[in-house]
Amino acid sequence: MKSSRTKSPAGGIKVAPPSAESRLLMGLVEASRYADAEVAANRILRSPTNQLALKALGFALIGQDRHDDALPVLRFSVALTPGDPELHNNLGIVLSSLMRWDESLECFSRSIELKPDDPEVLKNYGVALVRMHRWNEAVDYLLKAIECHPGDYVDAIEQLAYALINSGRSDEAWVCLNELWKNEPNNASILSQLLRASLKRCDWDELDERLRQLRLLSSDYQSLTDNPFVVLAFPQVTVQEQGRVAANYLRRNIRESLLDAAEPDWSEHKERQLQHGRLRIGYLSADYRNHPVGHVIPQVIELHDRSRIEVFAYSMGFDDQSDILRRLRTAFDHFVEVIEYSVTETADRIRADGIDILVDLHGWTADGRPEVLALRPAPLQVNWLGYAGTIGHGKLADYLLGDPVVTPLQDAPYYTEKIAQLPSCYLPADSTIVLGPPPSRRDAGLPEEGFVFCSFNNSYKFNPQVFDLWCRLLRELEGSCLWLSEPGGSAVERLRKEAGNRAVDPARLVFAPRVDARAEHLSRLQLADLALDPFPYNSHSTGIDVLWAGVPMVALLGDTFPGRVGASVLRAAGLDELVTHSTDEYYRLVRALVGDPQRLGGLRARLVEKQGHCALFDMPRFVRSLEEVYFRMWDQQLRGTREALPWPSATP
């Protein structure tokens, strides 16, 4: 997340100019007449060691967003005047703009050594850490920047809130954002982030009114530049509006020169591919760990046909010492650690490995590196799995991998990628997990008797309309309970309060603590009687989890990618009858299932019987289909075309 103010150099040139010509130059810089300042500086620079003119030239080039040109000027200036903290800061700004954040940190660090309490430099250091997704480290620097600033430091507070919410500290983020919004009630991006924090902490006071305000402030999301992942959970946002936000955010965070750069010449690459025969598929992710993506991807990698495909992992994540990471290190043909690489170094490594198709498993989710995609390190680039929507620009991804339910072809105008469909649900599963016997209800924290509804989703997927429906079911079914994953911060207290406001005993909400062992979690899910899918952001991997545990789920078919995943999962499991099309139908179906234990038991028996046979859990068939799509993409690449790739049997 880049503050617009980081584009300009910090402060101003503080050395008193000794001549009329230099005074004119300084006046041009202070007036932000950067093109004129560049001309004047070059005129003075008959002597290449004129420190003042060099400094002014650096300012002028940064002011015109000409960071590539500014880099050698600033490097020379720093070498000439190594004791000037402002020069180190400005060099850091340039390197940060060029996505060379590790190097920018070195410059900001040197500037801080020379001038420890400069709030601008401390903020810039924090912003670079934010861009590197080192959230908790960023918090410390941003707090110090705010402390050192003489007044309200809005730029730093915005960045602090963003770092806090991404580090799971939603309550602290909400406090920052609420204060910012009070001072800037017309700032749509701040309001969007405030809504995100509010949903995370299940604070629904004035939610509808604030969503209405956001729509007005952003002209129906046409001008919103906030992270597009945030709006996926907002009620009443269309797939078209989600696409607008993605495009806006991308243009704000990716340099225009990268987006406008010509496509590389891949002719030699194609020849090399024909020689070595196998397609080289690279998977880019920071989530090869105990994470939803890490949970569902291992069997896909293990089942790839090595006679046709060679698979590379590019891991941007930390080592969490998990069994999942150890399994994935073995599953890939090549497991490349790029967490210490810069964006450019990552792209160079992918290019050097001769990757034919680079599959990004992040999009705009946390810890992703879409900037790597902007450098076009592979002939074909695919958006899959991590982010349920368009990435916002055809330069970053050529195809979006979905299925006939989540990405129907009629939605193609709202995606910058070409739609490529798998025949069934686009989400893979891991069918190797063996379920053990469930614990006792007492050990799981559940009441000994009564019907158990469950929804093990992130708290930001809950909203008043969803909770109204679920609490209505609890009120009407005496002795029932709602089993939820325990959220962080104050969300538990707030959900209990919301239940009480709806005439439901708060004790009927049961919160399951996190367990480290995935098999243990899936085994305890067997205690649930029926899963309830939230909307407009459905269960994704959590939906697969409950079905693998043999628990039926009721879902509402929405109008957006994230709002259609529940339906896709159920249809792939052969449970089309559990997909509803309105909240009334959702309610009636749940009531019917609760009142018909024989029917509900039959659904459970079908799930257990179909494990390994239905499309959702038939991973060999899934991987064969995935590989077929990859080869169809590559065939189009060889023919010089890029068209949508509907699955042949899918209805247009």
**For the segment 203-234, what is each residue's pLDDT rounded down to a tens digit?**
999 999 999 999 999 999 999 999 999 999 99
The tokens for 204 are 């629904």
pLDDT of residue 69: 85
- Fold topology of 265-421: Rossmann fold (3.40.50)
Architecture category of domain 452-610 in CATH: 3-Layer(aba) Sandwich (3.40)
The tokens for 314 are 């590019």
pLDDT of residue 3: 36
N residues, the chain: 652
Cα–Cα nearest to 461, from 534, 532, 546: 534
Q: Name, in order, each residue with C-beta under 8 angstroms of 147's C-beta and a sequence gap of 6 or more.
A: none
Q: Distance of CA 478 to CAs 472, 505, 510, 527, Å? A: 11, 11, 15, 18
- Examine residue 536 and say whether the peptide bond preceding it is cis (omega within 30 degrees of 0): yes
Q: Distance of CA 151 to CAs 92, 233, 444, Å? A: 24, 35, 51
Domain with CATH 3.40.50.11380 in the chain: 265-421
The DSSP H or E segment spanning 453 is strand 452-455
**For the segment 117-161, what is each residue's pLDDT rounded down to a tens digit?**
999 999 999 999 998 888 999 999 999 999 999 988 989 999 999
Cα–Cα nearest to 13, from 51, 39, 40: 51
pLDDT of residue 376: 97
What gap in Å lies between CA 400 and CA 429, rounded to an integer?
19
At residue 389, the 3 state secondary structure works out as coil
Domain with CATH 3.40.50.2000 in the chain: 452-610
What gap in Å lies between CA 146 and CA 148, rounded to an integer?
6
For residue 101, with 0-12 CB atoms within 10 Å meaning exposed, 13-18 middle and 19 or more buried, which class applies?
A: buried
Q: Is the whole-model pTM more than 0.75?
A: yes
At residue 183, the 3 state secondary structure works out as helix
What gap in Å lies between CA 346 and CA 375, rounded to an integer?
10
Q: How confident is the prediction for the chain on average, in pLDDT? A: 91
pLDDT of residue 17: 44
What gap in Å lies between CA 336 and CA 214, rounded to an integer?
42
Sites in the chain below the pLDDT cut of 50: 1-17, 651-652
